[in-house]
């Protein structure tokens, strides 16, 4: 169909926001740059359903909310500029810092919203062009504890090691610290179907959320005690003789030490720590152990803590002791949050990772990736600082920062301090779609393309690699992040190796990931278009070439593949500030072709893909079907066994005291997304959720003499936030809740604690000690 010469046929693509990556169709309408959303029922994850954020996402494409010209700071004011001037300024800023202080004084900060191609190119840019070890991204604040816990136990981190469709078919789901009704509403149907099928739902959350209201059993522990709760449950599993001894003997190691640790956590002791009664603990154990299949799913509630890795380990222990992981419709999974939170951690923008989810300090991994990049492995820097440590070093060790797709002024812990650190930089460049609160502080702002204006891949919370297609032309004056990196590399002396065509970047990513834990080498744009996504690991070769399917591959419902054949397990451990291995990188002979356009043109393989192309590797050789389900035969550890971890309860980094007697926990509301930089610019979403609030129990409100809507000041050791009171009995009396989507005086992250998990380097977002009082009249 055409309208005034414009192609108006629907383009199937995916939502720009969360990790569910719902499928949607976009259709251009008259006026250019405007699209309509319609149902895309062929995508199995959401079957056409969208939340309000996805439904209104086209509003993000409006010129009214966008940056459409580069901005440079002149005499303290951001003013419009041409692309050449802006890029020159960025290259000069980074180059000056590198010459004066060395490459590690240049920082790079990425985001979990970047496509796989952009995350890959950004990591390569940092290490090859700048030669800096100082790169990390905002996903560190999201799922890093679950990733570290998964790697420790299973040797591999993929958010969900099974597709979402397994959820309704299991016997019991324990949902720990996830409010799906607000964060990804279309996923709620999996829980509804679970219960319709006779399965049981246990929700663990200090608040009686809309998700908790659907549960058969709601456990409301004190914030920060999920570790003790899991240990108490495991104690009862052992005491009641509900362990799966054959599974423990055949498929695990380390049980005795983990068992001993759990047995030290008596139910009565756990009740005192958590506030969850012993009868409730016993009921939870019964519901979890009686069915043949069961699973534990965690999210940010238990993970965003200075003991997040151990907490995840304790929940995995519970699963292992009862013989769940690697069994049908069973196991442990993490519900990743950001749109490309999964892919964003696999391709090299994380401080300690190389593409393919390889470890940066693994000599074999360095050799493999360096060969793809055409550089000397010794020229690659070592691991750098984690996200908060990097932000905290700005203005001291880090003098210049290139930031893409992140808004730490709102989303980082101890945010006022982070804002101050950003202001102290010698030079800050931000590439973003909108003028975020962080972009407002920049010396140069680069306006970039977004989801519907460009093609690229993301990897959703199931490990399903997806193709986002270009549906509409970007506004004049806007360029892609890949173009930015290409131009900056060129200005900094690296003329090749940074193509602007996403498919060309993906082809290199495939080679760089080959043989790694997250192996994408068998995935092509053509396959993604035809198969509606492919689960990694997907090596280039089929497992058994003679038996492999040659046609379109089975999707989530297809035959199960076995454990991934990786070339070495992932190692756990913190990002370190270790020394760089060698010199500044840069230069080198590149294999890549000359840059092409930054979007897929009509007639590209992605658009041409037809059944005859699908599922076939080169020369018609059958390709790997992808791996919807992991660990069925063995885990990705050297001996193939899952590892128990011996962990013990420990208190919060900051317990309440006389001065700060209440706990603050933070979270999300359905109409806003992360730092709100995008969703606060969408009228319908703003009307639904116009600002922050403080949720508190009627008893606490009574003690404070506070009525609904009264302005409340919440004060922690790091600052003060003000927002109206919202009084509800759905929260514990010892806890208040604030959503974190807003800047200014209601910024919840002004209050949060940057105490870090020793392994994952996750800050303690989810609990800190505060004082609550009526706000002074302004």
CB-wise, 416 or 688, nearer to ligand SF4?
A: 688
User: d(Cα 540, Cα 3) in Å, to the nearest integer?
Assistant: 41
User: d(Cα 39, Cα 28) in Å, to the nearest integer?
Assistant: 15
CB-wise, 43 or 288, nearer to ligand SF4?
A: 43
- Which DSSP string do the residues of 299-334 spell out, in sequence order? -HHHHSSTTHHHHHHHHHHHHHHTT-TTSTT-EEEE
Smallest separation, CB 22 to ligand SF4 (Å): 3
Instruction: Extract the runs of DSSP E, i.e. beta strands, from 39-116.
Output: 71-74, 77-80, 106-110
The structure tokens 């006389």 sit at: 658
User: d(Cα 396, Cα 390) in Å, to the nearest integer?
Assistant: 10
CB-wise, 6 or 10, nearer to ligand SF4?
A: 10
> What would the x/- binding string for ligand SF4 be over residues 302 to 331, using CB under 6 A?
------------------------------
Residue 285 within binding range of ligand SF4, rule CB under 6 A:
no
Smallest separation, CB 55 to ligand SF4 (Å): 7
Which segment (90-98, 181-189, 470-478, 688-696) binds ligand SF4 by CB under 6 A?
A: 181-189
CB-wise, 185 or 224, nearer to ligand SF4?
A: 185
Q: Which of 13, 15, 202, 694 is the binder for ligand SF4 (CB under 6 A)?
A: 15
CB atoms within 10 A of CB 140: 30
User: d(Cα 727, Cα 724) in Å, to the nearest integer?
Assistant: 10
- φ/ψ of 211, rounded to 5, equals -75, -45
Who's near 548: CB < 8 A, 6+ residues apart? Answer: 542, 622, 623, 624, 625
Residue 184 within binding range of ligand SF4, rule CB under 6 A:
yes
CB-wise, 53 or 421, nearer to ligand SF4?
A: 53
CB-wise, 17 or 154, nearer to ligand SF4?
A: 17
Smallest separation, CB 52 to ligand SF4 (Å): 7
CB-wise, 20 or 295, nearer to ligand SF4?
A: 20
User: d(Cα 70, Cα 91) in Å, to the nearest integer?
Assistant: 14
User: d(Cα 651, Cα 660) in Å, to the nearest integer?
Assistant: 16
Residue nearest to ligand SF4 (CB): 54
Smallest separation, CB 103 to ligand SF4 (Å): 37
User: d(Cα 24, Cα 28) in Å, to the nearest integer?
Assistant: 13
Residue 131 within binding range of ligand SF4, rule CB under 6 A:
no
| Binders of ligand SF4 in range 635-694 (CB under 6 A) | none
Output the CA torsion 503→504→506→511 (10° steps): 150
Output the CA torsion 104→105→111→117 (10° steps): -50
Which segment (16-24, 195-203, 276-284, 290-298) binds ligand SF4 by CB under 6 A?
A: 16-24
3-state helix, strand, coil in the chain (%, to 5): 35, 20, 50
- H or E element at residue 721: strand 719-727
CB-wise, 46 or 759, nearer to ligand SF4?
A: 46
CB-wise, 46 or 280, nearer to ligand SF4?
A: 46
Smallest separation, CB 302 to ligand SF4 (Å): 21
> What would the x/- binding string for ligand SF4 be over residues 40 to 59, using CB under 6 A?
------x---xx-xx-----
Angle, vertex CA 302, rays to CA 300 and CA 308, nearest 5:
100
The strand pair at 353-354 and 753-756 is best described as: unpaired
Please, which residues bridge with residue 250 across strands?
A: none
111 contacts 410 by C-beta, under 8 angstroms:
no
CB-wise, 53 or 259, nearer to ligand SF4?
A: 53
Residue 180 within binding range of ligand SF4, rule CB under 6 A:
no
CB-wise, 186 or 232, nearer to ligand SF4?
A: 186
326 contacts 635 by C-beta, under 8 angstroms:
yes
Q: Which of 11, 12, 13, 21 is the binder for ligand SF4 (CB under 6 A)?
A: 21
The strand pair at 135-137 and 106-110 is best described as: parallel
Residue 18 within binding range of ligand SF4, rule CB under 6 A:
yes
Please, which residues bridge with residue 764 across strands?
A: 753
Smallest separation, CB 340 to ligand SF4 (Å): 11
Which segment (105-113, 183-191, 407-415, 654-662) binds ligand SF4 by CB under 6 A?
A: 183-191
Tokens of 519: 């192996």
Helix 308-321 / helix 226-239 crossing angle, nearest 10 deg: 20
DSSP state of 125: I
User: d(Cα 118, Cα 137) in Å, to the nearest integer?
Assistant: 12
CB-wise, 20 or 334, nearer to ligand SF4?
A: 20
CB-wise, 46 or 330, nearer to ligand SF4?
A: 46
Q: Which of 11, 12, 13, 20 is the binder for ligand SF4 (CB under 6 A)?
A: 20
Tokens of 532: 């509606």
CB-wise, 22 or 514, nearer to ligand SF4?
A: 22
Smallest separation, CB 675 to ligand SF4 (Å): 15
- Total residues contacting ligand SF4 by CB under 6 A comes to 14
CB-wise, 53 or 300, nearer to ligand SF4?
A: 53
Smallest separation, CB 53 to ligand SF4 (Å): 4
CB-wise, 22 or 478, nearer to ligand SF4?
A: 22
Smallest separation, CB 164 to ligand SF4 (Å): 12
| Binders of ligand SF4 in range 383-422 (CB under 6 A) | none
Render the burial of 146-156: b for 16+ CB within 10 Å, e for the rest. Answer: bbbbbbbbbbb
697 contacts 732 by C-beta, under 8 angstroms:
yes
Smallest separation, CB 9 to ligand SF4 (Å): 22
Residue 425 within binding range of ligand SF4, rule CB under 6 A:
no
Q: What is the dihedral sign for C-alpha 181, 183, 185, 187?
A: negative
Smallest separation, CB 16 to ligand SF4 (Å): 7
Residue 17 within binding range of ligand SF4, rule CB under 6 A:
yes
Q: Which of 150, 186, 331, 382 is the binder for ligand SF4 (CB under 6 A)?
A: 186
User: d(Cα 53, Cα 20) in Å, to the nearest integer?
Assistant: 12
Which segment (150-158, 180-188, 537-545, 622-630) binds ligand SF4 by CB under 6 A?
A: 180-188
Smallest separation, CB 15 to ligand SF4 (Å): 3
List residues near ligand SF4 by CB under 6 A: 15, 17-18, 20-22, 46, 50-51, 53-54, 184-186
């Amino acid at each position: 169909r055409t309208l005034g010469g414009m192609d108006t046929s629907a383009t199937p693509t995916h939502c720009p926001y969360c990790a569910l990556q719902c499928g949607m169709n976009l259709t251009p309408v008259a006026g250019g740059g405007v699209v309509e959303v319609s149902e895309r029922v062929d995508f199995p994850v959401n079957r056409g359903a969208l939340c309000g954020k996805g439904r209104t996402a086209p509003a993000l494409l409006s010129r009214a909310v966008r940056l459409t010209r580069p901005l440079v700071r002149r005499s303290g004011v951001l003013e419009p500029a041409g692309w050449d001037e802006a890029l020159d300024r960025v290259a000069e800023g980074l180059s000056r810092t590198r010459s004066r202080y060395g490459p590690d004084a240049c920082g790079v900060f990425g985001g979990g919203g970047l496509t796989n191609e952009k995350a890959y190119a950004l990591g390569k840019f940092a290490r090859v062009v700048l030669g800096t070890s100082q790169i990390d991204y905002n996903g560190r604040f999201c799922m890093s504890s679950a990733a570290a816990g998964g790697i420790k136990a299973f040797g591999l981190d993929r958010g969900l090691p099974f597709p979402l469709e397994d959820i309704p078919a299991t016997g019991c789901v324990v949902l720990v610290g996830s409010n799906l009704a607000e964060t990804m509403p279309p996923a709620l149907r999996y829980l509804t179907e679970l219960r319709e099928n006779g399965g049981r739902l246990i929700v663990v959350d200090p608040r009686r959320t809309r998700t908790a209201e659907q549960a058969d059993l709601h456990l409301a522990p004190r914030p920060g005690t999920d570790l003790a709760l899991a240990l108490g449950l495991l104690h009862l599993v052992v005491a009641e003789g509900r362990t799966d001894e054959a599974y423990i003997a055949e498929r695990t190691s380390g049980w005795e030490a983990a068992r001993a640790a759990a047995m030290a956590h008596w139910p009565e002791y756990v009740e005192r720590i958590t506030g969850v009664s012993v009868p409730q603990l016993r009921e939870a154990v019964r519901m979890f152990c009686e069915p043949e299949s069961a699973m534990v799913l965690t999210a940010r509630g238990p993970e965003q803590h200075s003991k997040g890795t151990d907490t995840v380990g304790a929940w995995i222990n519970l699963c292992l002791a009862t013989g769940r992981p690697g069994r049908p419709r069973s196991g442990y999974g993490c519900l990743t949050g950001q749109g490309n939170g999964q892919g964003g951690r696999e391709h090299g923008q994380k401080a300690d990772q190389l593409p393919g989810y390889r470890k940066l300090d693994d000599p074999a991994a360095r050799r493999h990736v360096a060969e793809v990049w055409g550089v000397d492995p010794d020229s690659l820097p070592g691991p750098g600082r984690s996200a908060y440590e990097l932000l905290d070093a700005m203005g001291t060790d880090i003098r210049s920062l290139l930031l893409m797709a992140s808004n730490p002024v709102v989303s980082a812990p101890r945010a006022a301090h982070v804002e101050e650190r950003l202001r102290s930089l010698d030079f800050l460049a931000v590439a973003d779609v909108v003028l975020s609160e962080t972009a407002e502080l920049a010396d140069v702002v680069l306006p970039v393309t977004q989801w519907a204006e460009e093609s690229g891949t993301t990897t959703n919370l199931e490990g399903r690699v997806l193709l986002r297609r270009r549906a509409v032309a970007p506004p004049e004056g806007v360029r892609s992040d890949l173009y930015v990196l290409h131009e900056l590399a060129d200005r900094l002396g690296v003329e090749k190796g940074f193509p602007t065509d996403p498919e060309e970047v993906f082809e290199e990513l495939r080679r760089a990931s080959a043989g790694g834990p997250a192996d994408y080498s068998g995935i092509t744009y053509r396959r993604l278009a035809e198969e509606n996504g492919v689960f990694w690991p997907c090596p280039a070769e089929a497992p058994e070439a003679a038996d492999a399917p040659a046609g379109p591959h089975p999707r989530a419902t297809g035959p199960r593949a076995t454990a991934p054949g990786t070339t070495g397990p992932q190692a756990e451990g913190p990002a370190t500030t270790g020394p760089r291995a060698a010199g500044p990188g840069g230069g080198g002979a590149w294999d890549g072709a000359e840059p092409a356009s930054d979007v897929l043109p009509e007639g590209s393989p992605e658009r041409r893909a037809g059944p005859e192309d699908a599922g076939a590797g080169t020369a018609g050789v059958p390709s790997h079907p992808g791996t919807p389900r992991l660990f069925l035969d063995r885990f990705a550890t050297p001996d193939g066994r899952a590892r128990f971890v011996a962990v013990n309860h420990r208190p919060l980094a900051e317990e309440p005291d006389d001065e700060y007697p209440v706990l603050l926990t933070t979270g999300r509301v359905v109409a806003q997304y992360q730092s709100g930089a995008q969703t606060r610019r969408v009228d319908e979403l703003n009307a639904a959720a116009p600002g922050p609030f403080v949720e508190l129990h009627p008893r606490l409100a009574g003690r404070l003499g506070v009525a609904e809507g009264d302005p409340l000041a919440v004060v922690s050791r790091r600052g003060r936030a003000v927002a109206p009171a919202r009084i509800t009995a759905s929260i514990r009396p010892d806890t208040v809740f604030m959503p974190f989507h807003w800047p200014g005086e209601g910024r919840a992250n002004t209050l949060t604690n940057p105490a870090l998990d020793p392994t994952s380097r996750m800050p303690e977002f989810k609990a800190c000690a505060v004082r609550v009082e009526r706000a002074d009249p302004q």
